[in-house]
Each structure stands twice: as structure tokens, then as C-alpha cells.
Amino acid sequence: MLLSVRVPVLVAALLWGGMTFAADLEKGKEINGTCAACHGDNGQGGKKGEYPRIAGQQVKYLESQLKNFRARTRINIPMFPYTQERELSDEDIKDISAYLAGVELDTKMPTYTGNEDALTRLQMADRVMIIPRAEGDLANGEKLFQKQCAACHGKAGKGRGMFPMLVGQYTNYLQRQVDLYLKGDRPHDEEGTVGVLNGLKAQDIQDILAYLTSIQDTNK
């Protein structure tokens, strides 16, 4: 399966802690063969959000979460064995994270020229990621997102640094993570188990999720 990658070379130079290292995107693509079993060939996730989208996520976020799974600071039993160093070294983590970060998923169905064969058309369609619109007050969702979330996740919800991209992610997956944060099963921010999400009503959270689905096609 062909993937659309923003970085057109096999080795990408990335910054980490002030140091430069080379990420081998071809190796990352190879590693993705294992990830694809759950997260899809294009990193688009699967089973309507049971497995999250990982394509286009922030490099540092992907690295940190893989290491958290390994250390069990983020509990995920299915992910644990795949992240052990004998299966996935620190260098492998850099490679797969850089590769996935470069995968672009379109938010609109492709326009065909009529010259494509059936396989090419299928591959083009497979790279489309459209999250169904969620119900909610979009104006309230936008106001709350820009006030409470944008500082970390970016004004367009595309993430930054250690903070993940939210726009284009499955709504039910995001809601599941919110529930874990609110129960204290996952720390959300530097305040630990009590953070910004604890100050929001359930409807406010629904409105934010609805807003995120409304801006997915403006983030190309």
C-alpha cells in the first residue's frame, strides 16, 4: 500500500533535546507493517475508533506514548509486548514516529481524472479520512477549545511538540480518553489527575468534540 509522506527522502533530520538525529523513514515504513494490523495501512486507525488514528501525529507525542506503553506509565495491555526493547528499540521508535508523522490523510474524496486504474483509485480513496460530524454547539465548542485547549493542541487542533493532534481523530476515541482522564486513569496535564477537563461540563466536552469535527476539512 502506497502512503503519502510529506518528507520525500528516506532519512529525515529531526531535533530532539537540542540534538539532531536521522530518522530512517524506509525503516519506519517497514515497522508500520506491524502497526497496520490494528491502525491500518495508512495509520488511519480502525474499527471506527477502537484503534486511534496515528497518521500525522506529532513526532514527539508518538515517541513519548510508545515509551510510556513500554514503561507501563500508560497502561495498554495489547501495546505492551510490541513496545518492549527487544521488539522495538529506541531507534525503531524514532523511525516509526517520524514515518507516521509524515503520513497525510486527505479530508475530501479524490477527484479522478479517468486515467487511473482500479488499484490506483482504491489507494487514493483509502487515504481519505473523514470523521462523521458530531452533534453539539459549535460556537461554544470553538470558544472553549480556543480558551482551554489551543495553547497546547494548537489553534487548529493539529497538536504541537509533546501534545497530540486532536482534529481528524475519532470522536469516540477522544471521548474514551477524556473519560480516562476524568477518572484519573490517565494524567491529562501537569496538574495530574485534576486539570482543565475537570472544570468542564459533559456538554462542554461534547461541544468541543463537535467543533473539532467541523474544522477537519480546513486543516490541509
pLDDT per residue over 43-71, tens digit each?
999 998 999 999 999 999 999 999 999 99
Q: Please check whether residue 3 lies inside any domain of the structure.
A: no
Whether pLDDT at 4 is above 70 = no
Categorize the per-residue pLDDT at 190 as very low, low, confident or very high, splitting at 50, 70 and 90.
low
Contact 132, 171 (CB under 8 A): yes
> Residues near 42 by Cβ (< 8 Å), separated by ≥ 6?
1, 3, 55, 103, 105, 126, 127, 129
Q: Please check whether residue 106 lies inside any domain of the structure.
A: no
Q: What is the pTM of this model?
A: 0.83
The CATH number that applies at residue 193 is 1.10.760.10
Q: Please check whether residue 112 lies inside any domain of the structure.
A: no
Contact 101, 25 (CB under 8 A): no
User: 88 and 147: one domain?
Assistant: no
Q: Please check whether residue 5 lies inside any domain of the structure.
A: no
Q: Please check whether residue 116 lies inside any domain of the structure.
A: no
User: 97 and 142: one domain?
Assistant: no
Burial class for 84, CB neighbours closer than 10 Å (0-12, 13-18, 19+): exposed
User: 19 and 92: one domain?
Assistant: yes
How confident is the model over 210-218, as a mean pLDDT? 91
pLDDT of residue 218: 63
Beta bridge partners of residue 11, listed in sequence order: 24
Task: Give buried/exposed letters for 175-191 (b at 16+ CB in 10 A, else e).
Answer: bebbeebbeeebebeee
User: 94 and 17: one domain?
Assistant: yes
Tally of domains in the chain = 2
Contact 186, 177 (CB under 8 A): yes
pLDDT of residue 13: 54
User: 88 and 16: one domain?
Assistant: yes
Q: Please check whether residue 206 lies inside any domain of the structure.
A: yes
Q: Please check whether residue 159 lies inside any domain of the structure.
A: yes
The better pLDDT of the pair 188, 213 is held by: 213
Q: Please check whether residue 67 lies inside any domain of the structure.
A: yes
pLDDT of residue 108: 86
Residues 83-102: tens digit of each pLDDT: 999 999 999 999 999 999 99
Contact 169, 52 (CB under 8 A): yes
Which range of residues forms the domain containing residue 161? 138-218
